[in-house]
Structure 1
Amino acid sequence: MNEIPSYIYWLTRTTFVFLALCFVAVAFLPQSRPIAFGMIIGSAVSYINTKYLAKKVSMMTEAAATGRRGPKGLGFAQRAAISIGAVVLAIEFPHLFEIHALAGSLVFAPFALIVIGYFLSRHERDNSDNERGEKNA
Structure 2
Amino acid sequence: MTVDKSWMHLPTRSCIEYINGVENFLEYAFKHSTDGDMIINCPCIDCSNRYRRTRDEVQYHLLFRGIRRDYTTWYLHGEGDSEEEGDSEVEGDDDDGMLYGDMFDMIKDAYPQVVCGKESSENEPQEPNGDAKKFYRLLEEVK
TM over 0.5: no
TM-score of the aligned structures, taking structure 1 as reference length? 0.27
TM-score of the aligned structures, taking structure 2 as reference length? 0.26
Structure number with the higher helix fraction is 1
RCO comparison, higher one (Cα < 8 Å, 6+): 1
